[in-house]
Amino acid sequence: MSGGNPEGLPKDVGHRLEELERGLFTSDLSVNEFLLVKEAGFHPLGFVMGSSIHHTGVQTRRWSKSQELTKLTEAMYNARELAMTRMEEEAEVLGADGVVGVRLDVNYYEWGSDAAEFVAMGTAVKAEDGGSYRNVLGKPFTSDLSGQDFWTIMQTGYVPQGLVMGTCVYHIAHRGLAQAIGTVGQNVELPNFTQALYEARELAMTRMQDEATRLEATGIVGVRLEEKSHQWGSHTIEFLSLGTAVAKRGDEVTLPKPMAIISLDN
Amino acid sequence: MSGDDIPGAAFADLRAEVARAFAAPEGKTSGTDRGVTSDLSIDEALLLHSIGWEPIDLIFGASVVSIPVGIWTWGQGALDPASSAHAMAMTSASRRMEDQCASVGGHGAVGVRVAIEIHPRHVDVELTGTAVRPVGRAARRQRPFVSDLSARDFALLQGSGWAPVGLAFGASFVYAPRRTAGTVLRQSTQNVELVNYTQALYAARESAMERMQRSALEMSAHGIVAVRVDEGPMPFARHVIRFSSWGTAVALVAESHVGRQPRVVLALDDQVVQFAPEALHGG
């Protein structure tokens, strides 16, 4: 994966980030999250972003065949990876230890059909005690955990290592006319649909786990599985799994015992 | 909220506050000449009182600034007239809000709702919020702050040694570049990054964020929290990308940041355990 900014971008970026080095921080964290990140021993440095407007190619799909559309999978993966890498680079410029509250979005604009904006944004943070929280690849960690989740997980001895993802764009075969007629009026499982969904999901999850293994993580928390058709019609679906890979750093669990409350709000 | 200030004393205060609230419509309260108007919820108002602040009045700031005719048609680079109209509208709307806040004796406005509408010929900015002040303190000499944080967030910040100083904002508009027919055709089956679009978006984003940061630095803030961004093509001119961002600029006013040990709670109000009185009557 070639990261980096396309030509002409670093100039603009540098200027905004220079200002941040003078002591001002920007953050899209809410006040609660800001206070909790401080409580966890980190200080926000800046709102970092990366984006890429990507044109997705086409791939012929066979009407009656279930298959992965590798070209589309590649496009979806590479574009996200590019956005993430650019975000990490901004965090690197700020000397951050990590990025919390990362959001990944895909926006479609009308001026470019087949062109989508992939954007990653989050808040770069730095440990106040000067400790290093970089991951095994020597990069700042990234995490889609909210400020609340970040504080909670830090109390249990786990440290986020990176936002991991896996994706798979899959074409699910249509049923033939004979098949459709054969099952009219019956309760039956449609094994080809079931199988296709299973396979696509497995592929996405496996790819995510591979990324976590590369980071030498002990687990992935907050996994989400999203299924989207984007603009490809109902039989082509992208399965995207996302989560934060974590690794155990210490044995000390400082999480206070939860207190049961019954709120009186209606 | 920290745990040690909840029982006993605070409850007595609460009663006094309720009594004060009842007395307010009859004009028996001290400090204000007229009743309090505010769009804060009861919880938020009580929370403000618990940190020694009170709402005073609902205040507004609005400004409509015209945009020169014809700038939305085709061009290249940034649309400076549009971004300067945006900046002008935001600045004068918040200036008006500060003035109104000062005139009712407030130290600042919290819970400000920011409504920005961009029309082809004008920018329309409306701010609505509640003026607040510390109970029994005279109007402050500095300019009042304007903040889009809720009263709850304000109380949290206050308790941690931070204070809002104002609304930081920035916007930028750039033309999306055009691809030639040949390029479109060549790229139609490929996975490629559209570099010039990406650059246009970066240009818009960078200058908007930089403007926001500069406005925060002018207020000598230490940071901007709860930054919100709004990006995308303009509905009436799809080849123009807008990027606007805003948030509340905050400054550390205490010696150092005051940590507050969070407590972990497990909410028991769930559908399953909720008590439904009507169930006792057999529907």
CA–CA separation, A76 and A236 (whole Å): 13
Please report the pLDDT score of residue B28 as a whole number: 46
Residue type, B247: G
Question: Once rounded to an integer, what is the mean pLDDT over residues A94-104?
Answer: 93
The whole-number pLDDT of residue B139 equals: 65
Minimal Cβ distance to B213: which of A24, A55, A79: A24
Look at residue B89 and give its three-state secondary structure: helix
pLDDT in single tens digits along all 283 residues of chain B: 444 444 444 455 777 777 766 665 554 444 445 678 888 888 888 999 999 999 999 999 999 999 988 888 877 788 889 999 999 999 999 999 999 999 888 999 999 999 999 998 999 999 999 999 998 777 667 889 999 999 999 999 999 999 999 999 999 999 887 777 777 777 777 788 888 888 888 888 889 999 999 999 999 999 999 999 988 888 888 888 899 999 999 999 988 888 888 888 887 766 545 455 555 554 3
Query: How many helices (H) and strands (E) are present in chain B, helices listed first?
Result: 6, 9
Query: Token digits for A113?
Result: 């059909």
CA-wise closest residue to B123 among B83, B65, B208, B60: B65
Whole-number pLDDT of residue A60: 76
Residue A220 identity: I
CA nearest neighbour of A128 among B252, B255, B249, B257: B257
CA distance B69 to chain A (A): 23
What global pTM score does this model have?
Answer: 0.81
pLDDT at A15: 67
CB contact under 8 A, B160 and A35: yes
Element (H, E) at A198: helix A191-214
Domains and CATH numbers, chain B: 59-259 (3.30.110.70)
- The minimum CA-CA distance between A100 and chain B, rounded to whole Å, is 14
Per-residue pLDDT, B278: 57
Confidence of residue A2 (pLDDT cuts 50, 70, 90): very low
pLDDT score recorded for residue B282: 45
In this prediction, residue B34 carries a pLDDT of 60
Q: What's the CA gap between B241 and B199, in Å, rounded? A: 11
CB A172 within 8 A of CB A132: no
Tell me the residues of chain B between 212 and 271 that have a Cβ less than 8 Å away from chain A.
212-214, 216-217, 221-229, 231-233, 238-239, 247, 257, 259-269
The region, left, alpha or beta by phi > 0 then psi within -120 to 50, assigned to residue B253 is alpha
A253 in contact with B, Cβ within 8 Å: no
- The CA distance from B80 to A71, in Å, is 40
Spans of all domains in chain A: 13-181+188-248
Q: Which residue has the higher pLDDT, B139 or A57?
A: A57
Q: What percentage of chain A has pLDDT greater than the value 90?
A: 43
In whole angstroms, how far apart are CA B69 and each of A48, A87, B176, B268?
35, 37, 19, 59
Cβ-defined contact of A6 to B193 (cutoff 8 Å): yes
B184: number of Cβ within 10 Å: 14
Measure the CA–CA gap between A51 and A208, rounded to whole angstroms.
21
From the CA of B89, how many Å to the nearest CA of chain A?
Answer: 23
* Mean pLDDT of the residues in chain A: 85
Angle, CA A34 vertex, CA A28 and CA A35 arms, to 5°: 165
- Say how far apart CA B96 and CA B116 lie, in whole Å: 16
**A112 confidence band (pLDDT: 50, 70, 90):** low
- The Cβ-side half-sphere exposure at B63, using a 13 Å CA radius, reads 18
Q: What confidence tens digit (pLDDT) does each residue in A199-254 have?
A: 999 999 999 999 999 999 999 999 998 888 877 777 888 999 999 999 998 878 88
Q: Could you count the other beta carbons within 10 Å of the beta carbon of residue B15?
A: 9
Query: pLDDT value at position B60?
Result: 92
Task: Check: CB of residue A166 under 8 Å from CB of residue A205.
Answer: yes
If you search the block for the tokens 């080095």, which residue do you land on? A21
CA distance B91 to B75: 27
Beta strands in B9-161 (DSSP E): 53-66, 108-118, 122-134, 145-146
Judge: B188–A75 Cβ closer than 8 Å, yes or no: no
For B263, nearest residue in chain A (alpha carbons): A256
When pLDDT is averaged across residues A42-59 and rounded to a whole number, the result is 88
* Closest among A102, A17, A108 to B194, alpha carbons compared: A108
B263 and A13 within 8 Å at the Cβ level: the answer is: no
CATH number of A13-181+188-248: 3.30.110.70
Structure tokens at A218: 């002990």
Structure tokens at B189: 């089956």
